[in-house]
């Protein structure tokens, strides 16, 4: 039997490219479908690249017909919370309409298994910690709302058209795979780990901590950081469950432990051996004090246990990648 092919939308992006590496290692043939508006051609190294937009039905039909994938991993989406507030139109167009178009193209091609990249932003400002999948969904920005809408569409399509899916709600992805030459490279960069490493490297003058008066041990926000390779392994496990006939599932992906902004900065100073200059800024609207996943569902449904939970491990991989990448 030939390669089992998986279509990976957004496979030239951060999480998508690491998922492609994991697919290839697991014996699948990843086919990247990406319009390269925010992804990077250099990140496509584990299978062929089909340049295309998820809003282009004709192009999708052609790619499905050519590659006949067993399923789809769907990462193609805009993902900047701040930008979603100032320009919600592109978030609803790309994330919601684009996903709807992809799903309709899948059904037309009789491909009915999809692993969807969702987010803990669907919960909004959660009152309880850790967060379980049973919490009510109340996103507080258009990015979170767009992902929540797609989860709703998936559930309705599953009921109506026999689609099966895994909606994976990530917490904070970090780290990279420097030995494979891939890692986190956004423009603009908004994520804490790369920003802290830029400050350590002297690429930016300081890192701003937004709010130091939160009800947390050191006053800064606590987040659940998950290594991008652990995220990728969960996608393979979810795909394999769907291929084996599992029912639709919605699963948190996190370590079940959190690190504060100050702890991440302190760990970065240890990993890099450099000082990270810090400035204190005001709280950002919509930032909950603490976000930690209850990941017990991922363990029971997928048998998934993160292998790289320590923030130091994630920072070390991100730093190795950061030093490689900035030599380009």
Kindly list the catalytic residues: 143
In 10 A of CB 92, how many CB atoms? 16
For residue 169, the 8-state DSSP code is E
Integer Cα distance of 259 and 238 in angstroms: 27
Q: Residue 233 in contact with residue 272, Cβ under 8 Å?
A: no
How far, in Å, are 25, 156, 195, 197, 199 from residue 168 at the CA level? 21, 17, 25, 27, 31
Handedness of CA 323, 37, 29, 299 (dihedral sign): positive
DSSP-based three-state secondary structure for 13: coil
- Nearest CA to 103 out of 151, 46, 65 is that of 151
Q: What DSSP letter does each residue of 272-325 carry, written as one string?
A: HTS---EEEEPPPTT--SEE-B--HHHHHHH----S---HHHHHHHHHHHHHHH
Q: Residue 45 in contact with residue 204, Cβ under 8 Å?
A: no
Q: Residue 174, class by beta-carbon neighbours within 10 Å (0-12 exposed, 13-18 middle, 19+ buried)? A: buried
For residue 250, the 8-state DSSP code is E
């Amino acid at each position: 039997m030939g390669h089992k092919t998986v279509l990976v939308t957004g496979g030239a992006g951060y999480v998508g490219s690491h998922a492609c590496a994991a697919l290839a290692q697991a014996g699948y043939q990843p086919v990247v479908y990406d319009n390269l508006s925010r992804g990077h051609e250099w990140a496509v190294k584990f299978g062929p690249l089909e340049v295309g937009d998820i809003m282009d039905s004709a192009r999708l039909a052609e790619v499905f017909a050519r590659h006949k994938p067993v399923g789809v991993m769907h990462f193609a989406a805009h993902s900047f919370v701040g930008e979603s507030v100032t320009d919600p139109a592109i978030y609803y167009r790309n994330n919601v309409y684009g996903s709807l178009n992809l799903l309709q193209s899948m059904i037309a091609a009789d491909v009915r298994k999809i692993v969807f990249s969702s987010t803990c932003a669907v919960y909004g400002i959660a009152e309880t910690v850790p967060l379980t999948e049973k919490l009510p969904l109340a996103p507080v920005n258009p990015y979170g709302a767009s992902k929540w809408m797609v989860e709703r569409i998936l559930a309705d399509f599953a009921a109506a058209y026999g689609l099966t899916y895994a909606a994976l709600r990530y917490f904070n992805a970090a780290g990279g795979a420097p030995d494979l030459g891939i890692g986190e490279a956004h423009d603009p960069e908004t994520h804490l780990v790369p920003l802290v490493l830029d400050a350590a490297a002297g690429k930016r003058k300081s890192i701003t901590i937004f709010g130091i008066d939160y009800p947390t041990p050191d006053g800064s926000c606590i987040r659940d950081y998950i290594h991008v390779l652990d995220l990728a392994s969960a996608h393979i496990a979810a795909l394999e469950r769907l291929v084996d006939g599992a029912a639709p599932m919605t699963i948190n992906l996190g370590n079940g432990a959190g690190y504060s902004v100050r702890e991440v900065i302190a760990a970065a100073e240890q990993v890099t051996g450099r000082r990270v200059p810090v400035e204190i800024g005001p709280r950002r609207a919509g930032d909950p004090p603490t976000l930690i996943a209850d990941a017990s569902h991922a363990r029971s449904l997928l048998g998934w246990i993160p292998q790289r939970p320590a923030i130091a491990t994630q920072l070390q991989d991100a730093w190795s990648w950061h030093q490689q990448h900035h030599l380009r």
